[in-house]
Structure 1
Amino acid sequence: MEIFGSTFDDSVFSESRDRASVSVSSYSPKLCESEVTLDTDDSLEKQKVYKFRGDLAVRRGDYQKALDAYSSCLQWIADNNLTIRRDVLEGMARCCTRLGQRERALHLTELKEASNTCHLTSLLLLKVCQNTHTHTHTHTSSVCVLQQLCSLLPFNPWHWLSLGQTCEQLLGRHRSAGTTPSTHTKEFSQDRIWLKACACFIRTRLLLRILQQQQSSFVLRRSESALQLMEEALRRLQPGEPRLQALTEVMSEDLVPEKMREDYQDGESLSSVSLQSFRERWWDKVPEDSAILLTPSADHCGTVKPL
C-alpha cells in the first residue's frame, strides 16, 4: 500500500536533454518620475499625484515644497476619505513644525479632528514632537500633552517615562535658573513638578515589572534597561520612603489584571473613552493627611539635574 505522495516520477530527477537554452535579455527597472504631469480632470488622480509629490519632498528634506504639495492635495480629497485627509494634515503639520510655523502647526493638529483613539494618540504625539522642535519650548506644554496621553493610555509605560523625564527636565531647568515657571500656577510649581516626576517614574516602574512577566529577548532587555533608568531617576529625586510608599499606593490602584485585560481603548471609537483630568484621576486620590509627605525638602529639589 502506497501513501499518497510517497512516490516520485524518476523523470523529475533526470537532467533534461531537450531543454532549449533561453537567453535572458537585459532588464531595466521602471522609474517613477518625480514631477508627474497633471493632464487629467480626475480628482482622485490629482490627489495621488500631489500626495506623492509631498511625500517625495519630505524625504528630500524640502519641507516648503512638501507643504505646498500637501496643501494642493487637501482640496482634492473626498470628504468621506478620512484616512488620507488625516495623513495629509499630519504631513502638513510636520512640515510647518520644521519650517518654524508653530501656530499653523498647532492649528492643523486640533484634537477636534480626531476620529478614533489611534488618531487622537497620533495627534498628541505629534504635538509633543512640535514642542520639541520649538526653540521657545519650556516643557510645560509637553507636560500637558503627555498627561493627556497617560490619561488616554494609562497602561503604556513609555508615555509615563516620557512625562517623568520631561517633568525632571523642567524642574532642573528652573532650579538652575533660580526661577519659577512663567505660569505662576500651583500646577507648575517646583514641588508639584517634583511630585509628578516621582509619581511618573514610580508608575513606569510598576508597569514595566508587570509587563516583564510576558516578555523575552530584546523586549525584556529594553524593559530591564528602562527599570535601571527608573532607579537612577528616583535616587536623583530622593522622594524618601514615606513619600515613595504614599505615591506607590496611588499610582498602583488601577493596576489590576482584570482592568488591564478589559482595556476599552480599542482604537476605533472615542465614544467610550473618558479623558479625565490628570489631577482627578490620580492626584485627588492622595489622602489629605499624606499631603505633608508629598512636599519635597529644599535640599532634595536642589539635587535635581536636567537629564
Structure 2
Amino acid sequence: MELALGFGFEFEDSVFARSRDRGRGGGCAAYTAKRCEPQWFCEDANSEDDVEILTAKKFRGDLAYRQQEFQKALYEYSSCLLLLPSSNVAMRRDVQEGQARCLAHLGRHKEALDIAEKLRNGATNTDHLTTVLNLQFAIYCRLKNIEKKITCLQQLISLHPFNPWNWKLLAEAYMSFLQTLPPSFISEMKLVQCKDCTAMDQVFQTSPGLFGKEMNLQCYKTLSEREDVWSTLSIKTTRDNSVSYSDSHMVEGSLHITEECETRDKMKHATFEFWGQEALKDVWIKACASFVRTRLLLQITRLQQSSFALEKNLKVQRETEDKVKGFGLKEESLLLITEVMGEDLIPEKLKEDVQGEIKCVGPSALTSLVTTSAIEFEGKWFKKLQDSLSL
C-alpha cells in the first residue's frame, strides 16, 4: 500500500466497500420465460409484436415446405416478405430463398432463377454466395440441366475445395452427363479406334463396369463387334429414355424413336457442344478423379468425426470405393490420380477451411472468388491428369 502511495497511486474507497446484497435475478424484475406449445405459430396470433407476427409467418412457411405443401409455403413466405423491413437483410434473404425453392417445386423455374439471381447480386460474403449456389443447384436439378448443375458445383468447389460432398456430387454429375447421351450419338462417336485403344489399354483394365457389365476396352475390327462400355451406356440410355422399338425394326437393327425422344436427342447433342467437343473418355477421367478426391477428403475428415457423422462418412467411403473400382483403372493409374488429386491436402489449409471463415466483400470481389468457366476449372484440376495419362 505504501509503495503504491509513494508512486502517486490511490485506491478508491469503493474498492474496499462492502458489496451490496443482491437478490436472485440481479435486482431486476422477475423474468418469466415464454412457453410455446408445439406448432404455436400455426394459430392466428393476435399479438401486436411485429417480430412475433413475422416469425410466425416464417415458421408456417417452413412447416408447409417440410410437409411438401409448396403452394401454401409460398403464400406464407410471400406475405412475410411484404411485412419485412428492408433493414432485416438476413431474414429477407432466408424468406426469398424459401420462395425460390417453392417456385422450383411448383414448376415455375424462371421465377425461381430470377430470385436466385437477385440474391446473388446482393451477396456480400462467401456464406451468401454459398447459399445462392446451393439454391441454383437445387433449381437446375429440378430442370435436369446437367451443364448448369456442373457449373454450380464447380463454383462451390472453388469456394470450398475441401468439401467432400460437393466433389461427390460433381463426380455423379459427370456420370449423369454420360448417361444422358442418346444412343445414336454414342454410335456416331468413333471412340474405339485402334490408336485410341492403345492409350486406353494403358489406363484401363477389364473389370466389372459401373453399369453391371464388363468394361472391355479392346480394339475390334468392325463396329458390330464392339462390346465395350460405350455400348453399355447406349443400352442404358435407351432404357432410361423409354425409347420404343417395333419387333421388325429390332430384327433389322433399326431404331424407332418418338418425336419427343428426337427433340430430347437434339438437346443432348447441344449438351455435348457445351463441352467443346471433348472426348467422352476425358469425362470418365474427371468423374473418376472427383470420386478419388471425395474419398481422400472423407478419409481426412473422419478423424474429427464421431457418432452418426462418422457412420455416414464410412458408409459413403465404402460407396465411393466401389465406384472407383468400377472404373477398372490399373493400380499405377489410380495411384497417379490419387497423388494429383491430393497434392493440396495440407493440414494447415484443411484447418482453415474447417473453421469456415466468412469473407465479407463486395459483389464484384465475390465473383472473382469462383471459377467463371468449366475450361478454367477443369484446367486447374484435371489437365495435369489428362497430360499424365496421355488421353
**Same structural fold, with TM-score higher than 0.5 when normalized by the shorter chain:** yes
Question: Contact 1:201–1:234 at 8 Å: present in 2 too?
Answer: yes
Q: Which amino acid aligns with 2:316?
A: A
Partner of 1:154: 161
1:31-85 alpha-carbon deviations (Å, 9 max, x no partner): 8474637897x86566445435434543554322322332232232222211110
Question: Contact 2:74–2:102 at 8 Å: present in 1 too?
Answer: yes
Aligned residue among 106, 123, 142 for 1:114: 123
Stretches of structure 1 that go unaligned for 5 or more consecutive residues are: 1-28, 296-307
Structure 1: distance between partners of 2:382 and 2:43: 60
Q: Which amino acid aligns with 2:142?
A: H
Partner of 1:283: 379
Structure 2: distance between partners of 1:202 and 1:128: 22
Partner of 1:186: 275
Partner of 2:253: none
2:343 is equivalent to residue 250 of structure 1: no
C-alpha spacing 1:31/1:69, structure 2 compared with 1 (3 Å): closer
Structure 1: distance between partners of 2:50 and 2:169: 42
Q: Which amino acid aligns with 2:302?
A: Q
Q: Which amino acid aligns with 2:270?
A: S
Structure 2: distance between partners of 1:74 and 1:266: 29
C-alpha spacing 1:56/1:127, structure 2 compared with 1 (3 Å): same
2:292 is equivalent to residue 219 of structure 1: no
Q: Which amino acid aligns with 1:253?
A: E
1:148, distance to aligned residue in structure 2 (A): 1.3
Q: TM-score, normalised by structure 1?
A: 0.72
* Aligned Cα root-mean-square deviation (Å): 3.3
Q: Which amino acid aligns with 1:116?
A: N
2:176 is equivalent to residue 169 of structure 1: yes
The DSSP-based 3-state class of the residue aligned with 2:83 is: coil
2:357 is equivalent to residue 266 of structure 1: yes
Structure 2: distance between partners of 1:230 and 1:185: 27
Question: Contact 2:341–2:381 at 8 Å: present in 1 too?
Answer: no
Q: How many residues align?
A: 264
The DSSP-based 3-state class of the residue aligned with 2:161 is: coil
The DSSP-based 3-state class of the residue aligned with 1:253 is: coil
Partner of 1:64: 71
Q: TM-score, normalised by structure 2?
A: 0.58
Structure 1: distance between partners of 2:38 and 2:347: 54
Partner of 2:389: 293
Partner of 1:54: 61
Q: Which amino acid aligns with 1:238?
A: G
Q: Which amino acid aligns with 1:291?
A: D
Structure 2: distance between partners of 1:212 and 1:31: 36
1:218, distance to aligned residue in structure 2 (A): 3.6
Q: Write the mapping of 1:22-37 to structure 2, written as runs, cut at 5 A.
A: 32=40, 34=42, 36=44
Structure 1: distance between partners of 2:313 and 2:56: 43
2:110 is equivalent to residue 103 of structure 1: yes
C-alpha spacing 1:46/1:102, structure 2 compared with 1 (3 Å): same
Question: Contact 2:74–2:99 at 8 Å: present in 1 too?
Answer: yes
C-alpha spacing 1:59/1:249, structure 2 compared with 1 (3 Å): closer
The DSSP-based 3-state class of the residue aligned with 1:213 is: helix
Question: Contact 1:138–1:170 at 8 Å: present in 2 too?
Answer: no
C-alpha spacing 1:201/1:39, structure 2 compared with 1 (3 Å): closer
C-alpha spacing 1:181/1:207, structure 2 compared with 1 (3 Å): farther
Partner of 1:235: 325
Percent identical: 36
Partner of 2:100: 93
Question: Contact 1:243–1:294 at 8 Å: present in 2 too?
Answer: no
Question: Contact 1:181–1:188 at 8 Å: present in 2 too?
Answer: no
